[in-house]
Amino acid sequence: MTDAIRHEPEARRFVLDLAGGTGLIHYCELAGRVLEFDHTFVPHGLRGGGVASRLTEHALRYAREHGYRVIATCPFVAAFIARHPQHRDLLA
């Protein structure tokens, strides 16, 4: 997949448009430079194809590059971080 993930800061989300629908990961910005990732959505027909993982990886890279810590209240994001220990240092 070479489709670009875009950041929509006004809506507090990262979005990936694909044939078959739009995936997204939503966040809230909290005090102390913390991003809370609270929801990930992938259309039913695109599930299981790595879309949520791509969005999560992108969002965590954004957090790291911009000096944020992370709270993962979205179950998918929490599980992703548990499976990818290189991101655990981002947890607030």
Give tens-digit pLDDT for 55-80: 999 999 999 999 999 999 999 999 99
Tokens of 82: 């548990």
State the average pLDDT for the chain. 95
Place of tokens 């609270």: 38
| Contact yes or no for 13/27 (Cβ under 8 A) | yes
| Contact yes or no for 1/57 (Cβ under 8 A) | no
**pLDDT reading at 3 higher than 90:** no
Number of structural domains found in the chain:
1
State percent of the chain over pLDDT 70.
98
Q: The domain spanning residue 18 has which CATH number?
A: 3.40.630.30
Query: How many Å apart are CA 68 and CA 26, to the nearest integer?
Result: 15
Beta-carbon neighbour count of residue 13 at 10 Å?
19
pLDDT for the residue numbered 1: 45
**pLDDT reading at 22 higher than 80:** yes
**pLDDT reading at 18 higher than 60:** yes
Per-residue pLDDT band for 2 (boundaries 50, 70, 90) equals low
Per-residue pLDDT band for 21 (boundaries 50, 70, 90) equals very high
Domain that holds residue 50: 5-90
